[in-house]
Amino acid sequence: MARDGPPTTVAEIIDSAVQRVPLTDPVAPGYSGAVLERLQLADGSIVILKSSNPAIDLGMAATADPGRAFLFELDGIYDRLPASIDSTVLAVDRDDGVWRMAMTDVSAHLVPGEQPITRDESRRVMVAMHEMHAAFSGYEPTSLCPLETHVALFSAAAMEPFLDGSNPLPAFALDGWRRFDAMTPPRVRAAVHAIHAQPDHLAADLTHRERTLTHADLSLANVGLTERHVIMLDFAMACAAPGDFDFAIYLVQNDWLIEATNDEIISDWVELAVRAVDERTLRLALLAAFAEYACWKAPDVSEPSPYCSTYDWWLEAAQRSIDADGRHFGW
């Protein structure tokens, strides 16, 4: 019997496909292991299919992820997002232990790889972030990534168990920590390693002050802009944290791609806030983001990267936080 109307479930979408093209590059920077495919349906429309489970996805394995980005659809979380945000999710299911997600093809609106965005475009993203944080203030979806797991995600201890796997990121992370140890002032180095050893201390301080839903992985690779929407892809790292932590992750991942200085971007974040930003929370959030991403920010003199060009700024920000808050944490 012919089906009435367009396909609405993942299985129907797959059955309707007349072409499936792999999109995943297994050696690309940032590769997690999830499988992405481009499906052309019988009606000519294009859908992106993501398939993942902890056996192939490093992010899922490293954060004990039960499938949070997929569960968000089943729990109606994407429907609760502000009207300004498009998650692109059409349907999810689980087939033989593999989570599958069908998404609208928004490739034409995504930020092109390593192409800078303007300060005004960055402000649009931050306005949408503030709106999401306000919408979920006091409400925490289930299955979120614990903040303490997030902060120590790329630490040597967290990455070493995955060194024998096929994903190259753990080895890259450990190389980054060796560079970090060699070039970072002793007190900052000791504080970052102390955070990795007991991340729950910093996480508890931050979440005691404020908690909301944070995307916590807003690399510009996960961002797009249309006339009406800010596109936010891949909520797999979403956690309960202060909105400032979401911003700090956004900054540490993207500062090299925004046509503004870090201080200008911070000024925009504070100016656009619905309510006053707490100076200490923002300071600690920046330190938490640095502790998570310092292995990627530490420059490699043999292979200079613009991503690492702001490392000195992050060192100074970390030092300010350690000077102000180190005694409280015993750093």
Query: Which CATH number is 55's domain given?
Result: 3.30.200.20
Collapse the DSSP code of 143 into the 3-class scheme (helix H, G, I; strand E, B; otherwise coil) and give the result.
Answer: coil
Query: Looking at the structure, do residues 245 and 294 belong to the same domain, yes or no?
Result: yes
Task: State which residues form the domain around 26.
Answer: 10-107
The per-residue pLDDT for 31 is 60
Residues forming beta bridges with residue 47, ordered by sequence position: 39, 104
Instruction: Report the share of the chain in percent with pLDDT over 90.
Output: 85
Query: Looking at the structure, do residues 234 and 289 belong to the same domain, yes or no?
Result: yes
Residue 28: pLDDT over 60:
no
Q: Confirm whether 71 is domain-assigned.
A: yes
| Range 248-252 average pLDDT | 98
The per-residue pLDDT for 143 is 87
Report the alpha-carbon distance of residue 148 to residue 269 in Å, rounded: 24
Collapse the DSSP code of 26 into the 3-class scheme (helix H, G, I; strand E, B; otherwise coil) and give the result.
Answer: coil
The per-residue pLDDT for 163 is 95
Comparing CA positions, the residue from 9, 11, 65, 80 lying closest to residue 34 is 65
Comparing CA positions, the residue from 48, 19, 46, 17 lying closest to residue 35 is 48
Query: Looking at the structure, do residues 97 and 197 belong to the same domain, yes or no?
Result: no
Residue type, 211: R
**Higher local confidence (pLDDT), 331 or 213:** 213
Total structural domains within the chain: 2
pLDDT bracket for residue 301 (50, 70, 90): confident
Query: Looking at the structure, do residues 58 and 126 belong to the same domain, yes or no?
Result: no
The DSSP code sequence of 258-282 is BSS-HHHHHHHHHHH-SSPPPHHHH
Query: Looking at the structure, do residues 215 and 123 belong to the same domain, yes or no?
Result: yes
Q: Convert the pLDDT of each residue in 128-180 to its tens digit.
A: 999 999 999 988 788 899 999 999 999 999 999 999 988 899 999 999 999 99
Of 107, 135, 160, the domain-final residue: 107
Collapse the DSSP code of 77 into the 3-class scheme (helix H, G, I; strand E, B; otherwise coil) and give the result.
Answer: helix
Residue 59: pLDDT over 60:
yes
Q: Confirm whether 2 is domain-assigned.
A: no
Query: Looking at the structure, do residues 306 and 218 belong to the same domain, yes or no?
Result: yes
| Range 193-219 average pLDDT | 95
pLDDT bracket for residue 29 (50, 70, 90): very low
Q: Confirm whether 41 is domain-assigned.
A: yes
Residues 118 and 259: beta-carbon distance below 8 Å: yes
The per-residue pLDDT for 5 is 56
Q: Confirm whether 3 is domain-assigned.
A: no
Provide φ and ψ at 148, rounded to 5°: -65, -30
How many CB atoms lie under 10 A from the CB of residue 271? 10
Q: Confirm whether 5 is domain-assigned.
A: no
Query: Looking at the structure, do residues 180 and 211 belong to the same domain, yes or no?
Result: yes
- Cβ-proximal residues to 32 (8 Å cutoff; 6+ apart), any chain: 52, 57, 58, 59, 60, 167, 169, 236
Instruction: Report the share of the chain in percent with pLDDT over 70.
Output: 96
Average pLDDT, the chain: 93
Query: Looking at the structure, do residues 60 and 177 belong to the same domain, yes or no?
Result: no
The per-residue pLDDT for 2 is 38
Provide φ and ψ at 15, rounded to 5°: -65, -30
Q: Confirm whether 270 is domain-assigned.
A: yes
Residue type, 210: E
Q: Confirm whether 40 is domain-assigned.
A: yes
The per-residue pLDDT for 57 is 92
User: What 8-state DSSP symbol labels residue 81?
Assistant: S
Collapse the DSSP code of 148 into the 3-class scheme (helix H, G, I; strand E, B; otherwise coil) and give the result.
Answer: helix
Assign residue 219 the CATH number of its domain. Answer: 3.90.1200
Q: Confirm whether 272 is domain-assigned.
A: yes
| Range 292-319 average pLDDT | 95
User: What 8-state DSSP symbol labels residue 235?
Assistant: -
Of 107, 131, 150, the domain-final residue: 107
Query: Looking at the structure, do residues 241 and 279 belong to the same domain, yes or no?
Result: yes
Collapse the DSSP code of 233 into the 3-class scheme (helix H, G, I; strand E, B; otherwise coil) and give the result.
Answer: coil
Residue 26: pLDDT over 50:
no
Query: Looking at the structure, do residues 90 and 167 belong to the same domain, yes or no?
Result: no
Q: Convert the pLDDT of each residue in 310-330 to its tens digit.
A: 999 999 999 999 999 999 999
Query: Looking at the structure, do residues 52 and 117 belong to the same domain, yes or no?
Result: no
pLDDT bracket for residue 32 (50, 70, 90): confident
The two tokens of residue 71 are 């569960």
Of 92, 107, 122, the domain-final residue: 107
**Higher local confidence (pLDDT), 3 or 118:** 118
Residues 155 and 286: beta-carbon distance below 8 Å: no
Residues 151 and 203: beta-carbon distance below 8 Å: yes
Query: Looking at the structure, do residues 35 and 143 belong to the same domain, yes or no?
Result: no
The per-residue pLDDT for 4 is 52
**Higher local confidence (pLDDT), 7 or 180:** 180
pTM: 0.94
